[in-house]
Amino acid sequence: MLVYAYGFPRLGKEREYKKTLEAFWDKKINEKQLIDNLKKIESERLSIYQNYVDLYPEGEITLYDSILDLGFMFNIYRDFSIENYYNLARGENALPMKKFFNTNYHYIKIEISQEDDIKFSWDKYEFFGIKDPKILYIIGPYTLLKLSKINGNEEIILDKLIKAYSQLFEKYKNTIFHIEEPAFVLEYSKDEMNKILNTYKKLENYWDRINLITYYESIDHPELIENIEVNAWGFDFIRGIKNLDIISSINPKSKIIAGVIDSRSVFPKNGEFINKVLYEIKNKVNNEIIISSAGGLFLLPITTKVEKNEYIKNNLRFAIEKLEELNFLKNLEINPSNFSLEKETFEIPEKTRESYEERLKAQSYLNLPLFPTTTIGSFPQTPEVRSMRLKYRKGEISKEEYDKFIKKEIEKTIRFQEELGLDVLVHGEFERTDMVEFFAEKLDGILTTKKGWVISYGSRVYRPPIIIGNIKRIEPMTINEIVYAQSLTKKPVKGMLTGPITIIAWSYVNPEYPIEKIAYEIASALQEEVQDYIRNGIKIIQIDEPAFREMTPIKKRDWDRYFNWAIKAFKLASYAPKEIQIHTHMCYSEFGDIIDKIDALDADVISIETTKSKGELIEAFEKYNYKRQIGLGVYDIHSPKTPKVEDIIEIVERALRIIPKENFWINPDCGLKTRKWEEVKPSLENMMKAAYIIRKKYS
């Protein structure tokens, strides 16, 4: 059997991609050097493929993001130049970023208008020096449409796109196109399905040169596969095991690219599982089967070989090891098997506090004013904070020195907040690198990596922790800093934790373990921390869940299972006597359709971002009778600009039409760690001025 791979990370073993982009932006290298470096990175990447697999696409290389590339390739943005490109990616006119399906990769959301002169114009492949490609990578027209902002009639735009894609296919007559259409796995109506059918009918001339790749879920409509007879169809059998039933109901005429290697998990796939799936496919379809990864490998770090941890080295698989796994499967003998594809389940015990009304009364001793003011948690991670942490990690300064430094930062931050007059204070999170990695390092059963970097967007990378299972708290994780901060002030200081859902969302999770059980174990560990806060006199605890929305499954029919464990895990983690006020923070998300679920988390106070989504969120609250307290972010922390007092007042007053004044908190929309002190000070000053004015007016 042939083996096929795609999406191998472009970052490079030593993060060469990141370094090159940033060197160019810092004007340390010129355009020619940038392109030369990228070509070199790309040729190394391709030679890795060559070592392990038979088939792989070329053209995955990009200056920043493959979706933005399409904008220039198809003349939606005219006049490609590196300058114009980066201007849209990250400059003055930066386009918005959005998460790519349910992954942590952010793509650039381009805007397509009906009037655009859509045609194949910039040849990115040529630009990067690709010659006589066997297979070329591209995102398909339907997915492009779904991921873009559309102005005007969708059908007209789709029609224009088809013409542009055709022009590209015409130019490369001897090439197979690896077309990724993950949007095929979304839930949609028959009408929408017909739209896809029509689209691909118009590409019929090229079908024998198209590998149509889907991933992250199963396709609901067998008609699609039946009626689009391309060279090969790619399916994800890891996250879309239902694809088995779909293809067996029709016996497709195309070859099957069987995604049986998990491209989103560092855990090896059970050999029995792979054998079983391939056996089933072989039994049901007559055509050739090609083995591949289920989805692009770009969500994985490069290799485990550079890691220090023996468990990671010996048991886990990053991108290169996934290719090794594929290579190994070439000679697989498929046997009949009784392996069960059913997964074990686990039910998290339900913990429920007193009613919200009772808690509200019990918390009145906190004596908070009308429109209480607070911040989301972090304060500036200055170069000094980062360099001290690095020195401590390298052993250049002792634990005592480091702790002393952190304490000094905490004290400075407490005094700063007292001077501003904030009502509920935070310690500033100076001891934390990243809100998930910090807890991952402290919990047993979760591993962190040395060099397991993954791109989250552009040149931005992060190291997702690896959740093995059997998670335990070894010792208190945050108590020292929080209790120290509280000892400095009479005002309440928030205990600050990252919630179970977010820890799971931003890590690799052992798929052999039911997700419910992992969530239960993390929640239990956090609950121990919560109880320690309470024993130490902490009255307000914030458990951040910025990933609550993004963790929702692609198909709505799977939402119940998700919300069932997510809500129970949060409630277990945050379980506390009625006098304790529980907060949660959720960043920006599309909350419209899940306000009831946010309500079900049963927190006393939630804070969410609203400045970017303008009135949308408020509209959502209009429809739902939400009784709890809520802090709608009153200014955008992602902007270096100081918010104006009038603007803050306007945001609050607009929200006050829907949210009762007694329930309203005033806070920025997210943590302040990416800002400078010089920015934080005037911004919070204005926020406080606005709060005083509003308080006076509404008291």
Enzyme catalytic residues? 638
Look at the block and give the residue holding tokens 């779909």: 246
Q: Is 669 in a helix, a strand, or coil? A: coil
Q: Please tell me whether residue 494 binds ligand GLN under the rule CB under 6 A.
A: no
Within positions 656 to 685, which residues make up the interface with Zn ion, using CB under 5 A? 670
Q: Is 392 in a helix, a strand, or coil? A: helix
User: Nearest approach, Cβ of 377 to ligand GLN (angstroms)?
Assistant: 3
| Cα–Cα distance, 620 to 633 (Å, whole number) | 16
Residue 468: name its binding partner from Zn ion, ligand GLN, none (Cβ under 5 to 8 Å by kind): none
Q: Please tell me whether residue 546 binds ligand GLN under the rule CB under 6 A.
A: yes
Residue among 234 and 377 whose Cβ is closer to ligand GLN? 377
Considering only 135-143, 202-210, 592-600, 669-677, which stretch makes contact with ligand GLN by CB under 6 A?
Answer: 669-677
Residue among 280 and 545 whose Cβ is closer to ligand GLN? 545
- Answer whether 571's CB lies under 8 Å from 352's CB: yes
User: Nearest approach, Cβ of 678 to ligand GLN (angstroms)?
Assistant: 19
Q: Please tell me whether residue 497 binds Zn ion under the rule CB under 5 A.
A: no
DSSP state of 423: S
Query: What does the block give as tokens for 684?
Result: 């919070």
Residue 435: name its binding partner from ligand GLN, Zn ion, none (Cβ under 5 to 8 Å by kind): ligand GLN
Residue among 440 and 496 whose Cβ is closer to ligand GLN? 496
Residue among 254 and 589 whose Cβ is closer to Zn ion? 589
Residue among 506 and 621 whose Cβ is closer to ligand GLN? 506
Considering only 149-157, 512-520, 655-663, 667-675, which stretch makes contact with ligand GLN by CB under 6 A?
Answer: 667-675
Within positions 321 to 360, which residues make up the interface with ligand GLN, using CB under 6 A? none
Within positions 641 to 660, which residues make up the interface with ligand GLN, using CB under 6 A? none
CA 306-311-317 angle, to 5 degrees, is: 60
User: Nearest approach, Cβ of 587 to ligand GLN (angstroms)?
Assistant: 4
Residue among 587 and 606 whose Cβ is closer to ligand GLN? 587
Within positions 378 to 437, which residues make up the interface with ligand GLN, using CB under 6 A? 378, 429, 435
Q: Residue type for 572, please?
A: L
CB atoms under 10 Å from CB of 440, counted, come to 24
Report the chain's terminal Cα–Cα distance, integer Å. 75
- Answer whether 436's CB lies under 8 Å from 507's CB: yes
Among 12, 377, 631, 643, binds ligand GLN (CB under 6 A): 377
Residue among 236 and 545 whose Cβ is closer to ligand GLN? 545
Task: Name the closest residue to ligand GLN (Cβ).
Answer: 671
Among the residues of 241-304, which ranges form H helices?
Answer: 243-248, 271-284
In terms of Cα–Cα distance, which of 179, 70, 58, 196 is closest to 128? 58
| Binding track, positions 580-599, relative to ligand GLN; x by CB under 6 A | -----x-x------------
| Cα–Cα distance, 282 to 165 (Å, whole number) | 33
Residue 377: name its binding partner from ligand GLN, Zn ion, none (Cβ under 5 to 8 Å by kind): ligand GLN
User: Nearest approach, Cβ of 432 to ligand GLN (angstroms)?
Assistant: 8
| Cα–Cα distance, 548 to 606 (Å, whole number) | 12
Residue among 230 and 608 whose Cβ is closer to Zn ion? 608
- Answer whether 279's CB lies under 8 Å from 336's CB: yes
Considering only 194-202, 476-484, 526-534, 668-676, which stretch makes contact with ligand GLN by CB under 6 A?
Answer: 668-676
Residue among 366 and 595 whose Cβ is closer to Zn ion? 595
Within positions 107 to 166, which residues make up the interface with ligand GLN, using CB under 6 A? none
Q: Please tell me whether residue 499 binds ligand GLN under the rule CB under 6 A.
A: no
Q: Please tell me whether residue 680 binds ligand GLN under the rule CB under 6 A.
A: no
Residue among 504 and 670 whose Cβ is closer to ligand GLN? 670
Residue among 292 and 610 whose Cβ is closer to Zn ion? 610
User: Nearest approach, Cβ of 105 to Zn ion (angstroms)?
Assistant: 19
Q: Which residues pair with 630 in a beta bridge?
A: 606, 664
CA distances from 581 to 379, 428, 535, 541 (A): 22, 19, 14, 6
User: Nearest approach, Cβ of 588 to ligand GLN (angstroms)?
Assistant: 9
| Cα–Cα distance, 33 to 39 (Å, whole number) | 10
| Cα–Cα distance, 55 to 5 (Å, whole number) | 7
Read off φ and ψ for residue 398, nearest 5 degrees.
Answer: -80, 170
Within positions 579 to 618, which residues make up the interface with Zn ion, using CB under 5 A? 587
| Cα–Cα distance, 439 to 461 (Å, whole number) | 19
CA distances from 498 to 397, 544, 564, 573, 658 (A): 28, 5, 19, 10, 29
Q: Which residues pair with 467 in a beta bridge?
A: 446, 509
| Cα–Cα distance, 286 to 255 (Å, whole number) | 9
Among 140, 301, 465, 671, binds ligand GLN (CB under 6 A): 671
Total binding residues for ligand GLN by CB under 6 A?
A: 13
User: Nearest approach, Cβ of 375 to ligand GLN (angstroms)?
Assistant: 7
User: Nearest approach, Cβ of 587 to Zn ion (angstroms)?
Assistant: 3
Q: Please tell me whether residue 673 binds ligand GLN under the rule CB under 6 A.
A: yes
In terms of Cα–Cα distance, which of 39, 191, 243, 203 is closest to 127? 39
Q: Please tell me whether residue 275 binds ligand GLN under the rule CB under 6 A.
A: no
- Answer whether 147's CB lies under 8 Å from 183's CB: yes
Q: If you compute the radius of gyration of the chain from its CA atoms, what whole number of angstroms results?
A: 26
- Answer whether 122's CB lies under 8 Å from 72's CB: yes
User: Nearest approach, Cβ of 412 to ligand GLN (angstroms)?
Assistant: 17
Q: How far is CA 132 from the centre of its chain?
A: 35
Query: What does the block give as tokens for 254?
Result: 């195309």
Look at the block and give the residue holding tokens 């038979």: 54
Q: How far is CA 695 from the centre of its chain?
A: 37
User: Nearest approach, Cβ of 525 to Zn ion (angstroms)?
Assistant: 22
CA distances from 685 to 151, 485, 542, 679 (A): 40, 21, 23, 10
User: Nearest approach, Cβ of 547 to ligand GLN (angstroms)?
Assistant: 9
DSSP state of 213: E
Binding site for Zn ion (CB under 5 A): 587, 670
Residues lying near ligand GLN in the complex (CB under 6 A) are found at 376-378, 429, 435, 496, 544, 546, 585, 587, 670-671, 673
